[in-house]
Amino acid sequence: MTYSESVDTSNITVAESLYPVRIVTTGKSGSVSFTMNHLSDINWKLAMNGGTITTSGTGATKLNAYVPPLVGTEVRMMLAFQSLDDDEVIVWPQVFNTGSVEVERGTYETKAGLPVEFSVELPDPAILTTPYKRWTSGSLAQGI
């Protein structure tokens, strides 16, 4: 998993200085990207920002059909990361997959994966004022 956050800035300059007298933030954006190595119906639905899965039959005749969402009916989702050692948790309350989904079928060694890149959104500024929250414990918890 890779989390990226970028800051857009603008320089405020005056004629008396070659350096900016102040740098102001004009925008921020974040993204979470990873590859899901299990091509399940639920993971496919997550990668496509929603859609419907219908099941027919049972046992040996069971069949699932996935239909992607129509344009404008996609849904936002919550995403979370928990480290293997349980010493870090990150929760993004609202994300939307804005990356392209390219599945390459390969041999056993190369495996098929479902790559995704979610853009981080601020759900409702009246309720949440941060796009994510991070908790740490153990050696990662470094207080100031």
Residue range 2-25, pLDDT digits in tens: 999 999 999 999 999 999 999 999
Contact 38, 57 (CB under 8 A): no
DSSP SS3 for 69: coil
Q: Which two tokens stand for residue 41?
A: 């119906």
Q: pLDDT category, 128, cuts 50, 70, 90?
A: confident
Half-sphere exposure of 124 (CA within 13 A, CB side): 2
Whole-model pTM: value is: 0.81
pLDDT at residue 138, as a whole number:
81
Average pLDDT over residues 106-124: 83
* Alpha-carbon span 102 to 25, nearest angstrom: 34
